[in-house]
Amino acid sequence: MVAALVCLAVASCSGGARAVDAAVAGDTLAMRHASLLTIVECDGYTVADVTNPWSGGVMGRYILVDKGASLPEGLPSGRVLRTPLDSMLVFSTVHAELICSLGCANAIKGVCEAQYMTQPSLVAGLADGAVADCGSALNINVERVVQLSPQAVWVLPYENGGYGKLDKLPYTLVECVEYLENSPLAAAEWVRFYGRLLGCASAADSLFAVVESSYLSLRDSLARCTSRPTLMCELKSSSAWYMPAAKSTMGQLYSDAGADYLFSSYGGSGSVPLAFETVLHRAADADFWLIKYGGAQKTYKSLTGEYGGYAHFRPYKERRIFACNLSERRFYEETPFRPDILLRELASIFHPDITDGYKRRYYEELEEE
């Protein structure tokens, strides 16, 4: 679970904002779901504005110009990138996965958090030195970054944090805030921006069209279900039990998948820390329980070995717990830009009659021992 999220702490909206022109003349690309991204196709270049999720306004403006063309005169202010990008430093395994899936793995010349990169081409590149290991997200190896001299560094802004050593380096930061969008499809639509950075706009637009159509079609089918099984999720962590809030990506996916998520009354788009007693009071009689974890295989026996209170929940008693072992399943790498697949995965648990024949790739029934 840490693999996809650890990089969040290295970046911040501070240092990313700059003065930009208020408007750009061109054809605005219709963004059907994303609210933090605006793309305008202009004569000879493309302008992409990334909105600051915390304070509004433009966090970063990117001017994309094909590297085979002359630089147009009169460009608006912003960060000029000659596309397709062919030399990038990537912090997140989520973006590494997307870049590889778009056929652009060779453009990744360096990564942070190398131990979490699972893409075969990157693993091989790290082994033979073709891909640079630039250290951890919290302690970047500046010397290696300078040697790499990337066209762009893909970072995930984090509120009230900082870019640290990156602020002092002359490389363009691509600020990726899709993880703060307000719906699974809104986050997935950012593939259209990333496709334009990588020179595969048509393929990216086509991919999103498939994702959107598949997601909405299944969601509409599930909305007609007459029953909605109740759902609880995750495990207690130290003194708190973190539950996805109603407007979080997972909270919305649970609802769209035809479940009555028992913690949907908690607002916000993050996770809500709750006391065990609060969770027990609300979810003792839940129909299903979904958990994600990393490391050694968990079982019903090991769960109560970790915390005896788990035995009080109905899904434990009736053996209706479904688990995703993040050490074996590439959940966080694959699902952010393919919410349609995750929606079908969840629906196969709650409404198997609608997803007849679907073979789950992330969750499996928890074993006894």
Same domain flag for 172 and 266:
no
pLDDT tens-digit series, residues 21-62: 456 778 999 999 999 999 999 999 999 999 999 999 999 999
Alpha carbon separation from 23 to 58, 65, 66, 120 (Å, rounded): 11, 18, 21, 42
Same domain flag for 261 and 286:
yes
Q: Tell me the residue range of the domain where 300 lies.
A: 227-365
* Local confidence band at 167 (pLDDT 50, 70, 90 cut-offs): confident
Instruction: Report the alpha-carbon distance of residue 329 to residue 342 in Å, rounded.
Output: 13
| Total structural domains within the chain | 2
Same domain flag for 166 and 28:
yes
DSSP H or E stretch at residue 126: helix 120-128
Same domain flag for 168 and 255:
no
Same domain flag for 36 and 121:
yes
Average pLDDT over residues 147-174: 89
pLDDT tens-digit series, residues 274-287: 999 999 999 999 99
Of the candidates 23, 152, 34, 33, the one whose C-alpha atom is nearest the C-alpha of residue 76 is 23
Same domain flag for 34 and 172:
yes
Per the domain annotation, does 218 fall within a domain? no
Q: What is the mean pLDDT of the chain?
A: 92
Per the domain annotation, does 101 fall within a domain? yes
* Domain final residue pick, 182, 211, 240: 211
Same domain flag for 133 and 259:
no
For the CA atoms of 86, 92, 95, 100, the dihedral, rounded to the nearest 10 degrees, stands at: 60
- Residue 164 predicted with pLDDT over 90: no
* Local confidence band at 233 (pLDDT 50, 70, 90 cut-offs): very high
Residues 6+ apart with CB under 8 A from 163: 10, 11, 12, 14, 15, 16, 155, 173
What's the pLDDT score for residue 22? 54
Per the domain annotation, does 219 fall within a domain? no
201-223 and 339-350 are packed helices; what angle lies between their axes, rounded to 10 degrees? 20
Per the domain annotation, does 143 fall within a domain? yes
Same domain flag for 168 and 311:
no
Cis peptide before 84 (omega within 30 of 0): yes
Give the HSE-up count for residue 135: Cα atoms under 13 Å, Cβ half-sphere: 14
Both tokens of residue 158?
């984090």
Per the domain annotation, does 149 fall within a domain? yes
* Domain final residue pick, 183, 211, 239: 211
Which CATH number is 359's domain given?
A: 3.40.50.1980
Alpha carbon separation from 85 to 59, 138, 202, 208 (Å, rounded): 21, 25, 16, 20
Same domain flag for 290 and 199:
no
* Domain final residue pick, 211, 245, 261: 211
What's the pLDDT score for residue 10? 35
Per the domain annotation, does 352 fall within a domain? yes
- Residue 178 predicted with pLDDT over 60: yes
Per the domain annotation, does 278 fall within a domain? yes
- Beta bridge partners, 110, equal 89, 132
> Which segments of 97-170 are extended strands (E)?
108-111, 132-133, 135-136, 139-140, 152-155
- Residue 313 predicted with pLDDT over 90: yes
Burial class (CB in 10 A: 0-12, 13-18, 19+), 224: exposed
What's the pLDDT score for residue 325? 98
Per the domain annotation, does 222 fall within a domain? no
Same domain flag for 196 and 234:
no
- Beta bridge partners, 153, equal 89, 173
Same domain flag for 289 and 158:
no
Same domain flag for 266 and 160:
no
